[in-house]
Amino acid sequence: MVFRVRRSGVQGGQSLLSLRPVLRSALAQTNQTGYTGGVRGFKVKCMKQMAQGGGGATGGVSSVKISLRKTSLVDYPGKIASVLFFTGCNMRCPWCHNRELVLPEPTSARDADPEELVRLDQALAHIGKRRNVLGGVVLSGGEPSLYRDLPALIWRIKEMELAVKLDTNGMNPGMLEKLFQTKETAPDYIALDLKLAPLRYGEMALDVRMSARTLVSADSLRKSAELIRNSGIAHEYRTLALPTITEKDIAALAELTDDAPWYVRAFRPGNCLDPKWDDFEPSNARDAGALVDAIQALGKNGVSG
C-alpha cells in the first residue's frame, strides 16, 4: 500500500513545508503496515525525504538555494519550461560563464549576490502555481547531480505532471544509476555535455589532486554516456566550439555517442570562470560548422545549435 498526496490537495503556491503534516501522517500509517520494498517503497522513501525537509550538499529542501529562470522557450526542446540552476560543480571549466553558480562563495563583485538566489521550496511553489502553463522543468547548474535528494525532487516535479530535463556534465554516474531505477525518478530528457576528449578532462579539474585523476574523470564520463545510451530516455549531446578544441577531441568523444542529436554551439567570452578566457575571440558559425562537419563525417548526428 502506498499513500500519495493527491494533486487536488496542493493549492496554488502551497510549499512543501506545508505538506509535511500530510506526508508524516501518511508515513505513520505506512509504517504501521510494515510495507517496504519495490517501486512503491521507493515512493514512500521519496515522500519521507520531502516530509523531513530533504537534504543535499547544503541542507534540506527549505535551505537549498538555487537560481530560478521562471520561463524559458529554449532550454527544453518543444516545451515551455522553468529552469532550476543548482549551485556548486565538480568541475572548473575555465570558459564556464556560470561562475556565480560554480564558485561555492562569491570571490569578487562579478559574482552573484546571494539575494539573487531563492530557496528550492519557494521555486517549487512558484512552479506549482504555473503547472497548467508549463510543460516541463529543467534541472541545470552548476551540476544538479550533486544534489543528494535529486531522485525525490524529480519525483515531486513529476507529481505535478510536468516533464523533467536534466543537464549534466557526466561526472556523477552513481546518481544517474539511482535516477534510472524507477520511472518516477528518471528524467524525461537528458543533455550530456561533451567538452574535450575524455583524457583532457584533467584540464577542467577542480584541483591539482583531481587533475592527477584524469583517468577517473574519463571513466566517469564513459560510464555516464553508456548509462544514458542504454536508458531508453530521449537525450542529446552538447559541445562548445572552443578555441582549444580539435577534431581529435571530436573523434574521441564520438566513441561515447549514439545517433542522438549532437549540438555544437559557438563559444562566447564574458563572465568566464577564468578571466583570461574573456580575452579569447568568440567563435562563429564557421567554427561551429567545421566541428559539425567533423561529427557528421564520423557518422554521428551533428547539428549546429
pLDDT digits (tens, 9 = 90+) for 39-53: 455 555 555 454 444
103 within a domain of the structure (yes/no): yes
Q: Which of 42-46, 153-157, 234-238, 253-257 has the lowest mean pLDDT?
A: 42-46
Alpha-carbon span 89 to 110, nearest angstrom: 18
Q: When comparing pLDDT for 196 and 33, which is higher? A: 196
Averaged pLDDT for residues 9-31: 42
* Long-range Cβ contact pairs of 98-101 (< 8 A, separation 24 or more): 98/141, 98/142, 99/271, 99/272, 99/273, 100/67, 101/67, 101/141, 101/142
- pLDDT band of residue 116 (cuts 50, 70, 90) is confident
Q: What are phi and psi of 85, to 5 degrees?
A: -100, 110
**Which residues does residue 138 pair with via DSSP β-bridges, in sequence order?**
83, 165
107 within a domain of the structure (yes/no): yes
On the question of pLDDT at 113 being above 70, the answer is: no
* pLDDT digits 0-9 by tens, 122-143: 999 999 999 999 999 999 999 9
The pLDDT value recorded for residue 205 is 77
The pLDDT value recorded for residue 7 is 38
Which stretches of the chain are DSSP H helices? 16-33, 38-51, 99-102, 120-129, 150-159, 173-179, 208-211, 214-230, 247-254, 285-297
Averaged pLDDT for residues 11-34: 41
31 within a domain of the structure (yes/no): no
Give the mean pLDDT of the chain: 82
User: How many angstroms from the chain centroid is the CA of residue 159?
Assistant: 19
Specify the CATH number for the domain of residue 279: 3.20.20.70
Alpha-carbon span 88 to 90, nearest angstrom: 7
The pLDDT value recorded for residue 210 is 55
- pLDDT band of residue 33 (cuts 50, 70, 90) is very low
Averaged pLDDT for residues 299-303: 98
- Nearest of 273, 282, 283, 281 to residue 97 by alpha carbon: 273
pTM of the model: 0.80
On the question of pLDDT at 165 being above 60, the answer is: yes
Averaged pLDDT for residues 158-183: 97
263 within a domain of the structure (yes/no): yes
- pLDDT band of residue 177 (cuts 50, 70, 90) is very high
The pLDDT value recorded for residue 63 is 72
17 within a domain of the structure (yes/no): no
The pLDDT value recorded for residue 31 is 39
The total domain count for the chain is: 1
Q: Print the domain residue range for 293.
A: 54-304
117 within a domain of the structure (yes/no): yes
How big is the chain, counted in residues? Answer: 305
The pLDDT value recorded for residue 214 is 67
On the question of pLDDT at 35 being above 80, the answer is: no
Are residues 155 and 51 in contact, defined by beta-carbon separation less than 8 angstroms? no
28 within a domain of the structure (yes/no): no
40 within a domain of the structure (yes/no): no
pLDDT over 70 for what percent of the chain?
72
The pLDDT value recorded for residue 209 is 59
Alpha-carbon span 128 to 36, nearest angstrom: 29
The pLDDT value recorded for residue 202 is 84
- How many CB atoms are closer than 10 A to CB 6? 9
